[in-house]
Chain A
Amino acid sequence: MYRLCIAALAGTCLTGTLAMADTLPGELPVDPYEVSNANAGAEPVDNPDMFAAFHGQAGIDRIVDDLVDRVTVDPRIEEIFRASDLVRLRRTLKEQFCYLLDGPCDYTGRDMVAAHKDQGITTREFNALVESLQFAMDTEGVPFAMQNKLIAKLAPMKRDVVTR
């Protein structure tokens, strides 16, 4: 309940230049913010083989869908996603992974601070998502060493995502 209230409040505090991304049917409106690849939280990997190692956009789509399916039923963290717009979450995560893996995508979501503001995420919850991501990448057949190169990009985002 606490998180639901906070998540609802969080959306009202965001300001920035209006530059609407191409949203999908079913997405809920969000307050305007400045769209920029800098919001993705890291520079893309400097490795031309990474996008292929994740089986391109189709592989990234499968990984993100599997990840979201897993975290929304994980008793450790499902509560965090109850108030989330899962249509938008899937789209922005797919964009973010594609961008970070040096694929032909731009990231149009909010920055990591804004996207997780007031969700009260802990290290344990952050790690629970990492575990689900590892399972999803295993299922897709991404080699472990390649998985680590993506996680290395995501790991420092803990500083912005974990707030308690």
Chain B
Amino acid sequence: MALTPLSLLTRNTILCCTTAWLCVAGPSNADDIEPGGKLLLTRGISSVDGSGGGGIVPWALITGNETDRGIGATAHLTSVILPDFDVISYGAGIGLRDRLEFSYTHQALDTGSTGPKLGLPDGYTFSQDIVAMKVRVAGDAIYDQDTWMPQVAIGAVYKQADHGSLLSALGAEDDSGVEFYVSATKLLLAQSLLLGGTLRYTDANQNGLLGFGGTSEASIYPEVSLGYMLSKRLIVGGEYRAKPDNLAFAEEDAWLDLFAAYAINKEMTVSAAYADLGSIATFDEQRGLYLSLQVGF
């Protein structure tokens, strides 16, 4: 039977997905799949990019309430209200056997009445679609309390921004990009502390909302998070994320925030933060309120 290129592609995709699934699922029976099982807050929240983590920094934890014997999922709605812009992000992720995570997120930067000041229409919105995957490669952040070894995950994030021609006029080289990161997360339970560090290889401008590349090449940027658990439902902390500064027309700063995340129950977590996103498109001191709701199982 002659196979057209398309059917070959489809067949290979199915084979590839099946193989990936079998590797994750292992040889066990379908009725072994258990619902939930993670302790409160240990799935993390959903970052603005959709990955399980803090608000702006991904963690090595896998989204969803599942353990190594199940499947979990989360959905999130996040907004950041800034003096001259609004950021909104929503999406969903699935966690497979507390090992693999896939997520999709749509993200928008609404210029509102700031648009005309930038020579854009009123309410002009930059937006992007983000598809990400993460795989946990070593360690266990929660249970390995007798070693310093953190949980380590690696991730890849594909971002496709809208308005490519405007982005290139602003100095971006591309309207899409792929980021790679390695993330280490450790719960120091005896101290009630959560520590996280991420190294991200990226050339994204304002996370990709203003395109990719420009005056310099992609490089590695550090991100850190620190949390203190006040109760099994409540963690407070801060995050810092270094970013490229690639666009000649506008300076770009690191992002940082001070957050509180509260698990209402196993299904719902609400987070609030004071976020400092620095200068965005020549508008300085973009500091405001970050709010996020995550639901999942």
Measured CB to CB, the residues of A under 8 A from B are 42, 45, 122-124, 127-128, 130-131, 134, 144-145, 148-149, 151-153, 155-156, 158-159, 164
Smallest CB separation, B283 vs chain A (Å): 41
Q: Is the CB of A131 within 8 A of B39?
A: yes
- Give 21 A-B contacts (CB < 8 Å), ordered by A residue: A122-B34, A123-B69, A124-B36, A124-B37, A124-B67, A124-B70, A127-B38, A128-B37, A144-B192, A144-B230, A148-B229, A149-B189, A151-B189, A152-B189, A152-B190, A155-B142, A155-B144, A155-B145, A156-B143, A156-B144, A164-B69
For residue B68, CB closer than 8 A to chain A, the reply is yes
CA of A127 to CA of B140 in the docked complex: distance in angstroms?
14
Residues from chain A with a CB closer than 8 A to the CB of B146 are 42, 156
Measured CB to CB, the residues of B under 8 A from A are 34, 36-39, 67-70, 98, 142-146, 189-192, 229-232
Residues from chain A with a CB closer than 8 A to the CB of B229 are 144, 148
Residues from chain A with a CB closer than 8 A to the CB of B143 are 155-156, 158-159
Q: Is the CB of B145 within 8 A of A152?
A: yes
Residues from chain A with a CB closer than 8 A to the CB of B142 are 155
CA of A144 to CA of B40 in the docked complex: distance in angstroms?
14
Smallest CB separation, A153 vs chain B (Å): 7
Give B233's nearest chain A residue, CB to CB. A144
CA of A145 to CA of B188 in the docked complex: distance in angstroms?
11
Q: A156-B144, A156-B145 are in contact. List 10 more A-B contacts (CB 8 A).
A: A122-B37, A122-B67, A123-B98, A124-B34, A124-B69, A127-B37, A144-B231, A152-B145, A159-B143, A164-B69
With A123-B69, A124-B34, A124-B37 as known contacts, state yes or no: A149 contacts B190, CB within 8 Å. yes
Give A153's nearest chain B residue, CB to CB. B145
Q: Is the CB of A148 within 8 A of B36?
A: no
Top-3 shortest CB links A-B: A124-B37, A152-B189, A123-B67
Give A145's nearest chain B residue, CB to CB. B192
Give A158's nearest chain B residue, CB to CB. B143
Q: Is the CB of A148 within 8 A of B192?
A: yes
Give the tally of cross-chain contacts (CB within 8 A).
56
CA of A124 to CA of B70 in the docked complex: distance in angstroms?
10
Residues from chain A with a CB closer than 8 A to the CB of B189 are 148-149, 151-152, 155
Smallest CB separation, A155 vs chain B (Å): 4
Give A149's nearest chain B residue, CB to CB. B190
CA of A31 to CA of B39 in the docked complex: distance in angstroms?
35
Q: Which of the listed residues B36, B70, B192 has the most CB atoms from chain A within 10 Å of its own CB?
A: B192
With A127-B39, A131-B39 as known contacts, state yes or no: A122 contacts B192, CB within 8 Å. no
CA of A128 to CA of B144 in the docked complex: distance in angstroms?
18
Give B38's nearest chain A residue, CB to CB. A127
Q: Which of the listed residues A42, A122, A124, A144 has the most CB atoms from chain B within 10 Å of its own CB?
A: A124
Smallest CB separation, A126 vs chain B (Å): 9
CA of A131 to CA of B36 in the docked complex: distance in angstroms?
13
Q: Which of the listed residues A131, A134, A155 has the most CB atoms from chain B within 10 Å of its own CB?
A: A155
Smallest CB separation, B229 vs chain A (Å): 7
CA of A99 to CA of B153 in the docked complex: distance in angstroms?
36
Smallest CB separation, A109 vs chain B (Å): 20
Q: Which of the listed residues B98, B142, B229 has the most CB atoms from chain A within 10 Å of its own CB?
A: B142
Q: Is the CB of B190 within 8 A of A148?
A: yes
Give A124's nearest chain B residue, CB to CB. B37
CA of A20 to CA of B68 in the docked complex: distance in angstroms?
38
Q: Is the CB of B37 within 8 A of A130?
A: no
CA of A122 to CA of B36 in the docked complex: distance in angstroms?
12
With A42-B146, A152-B145, A155-B142 as known contacts, state yes or no: A123 contacts B37, CB within 8 Å. yes
Smallest CB separation, B276 vs chain A (Å): 29
CA of A92 to CA of B165 in the docked complex: distance in angstroms?
71
Residues from chain A with a CB closer than 8 A to the CB of B36 are 124
Residues from chain A with a CB closer than 8 A to the CB of B144 are 155-156
Smallest CB separation, B273 vs chain A (Å): 22
Give B140's nearest chain A residue, CB to CB. A158
Residues from chain B with a CB closer than 8 A to the CB of A122 are 34, 37, 67, 69
Give A43's nearest chain B residue, CB to CB. B146
Give B189's nearest chain A residue, CB to CB. A152
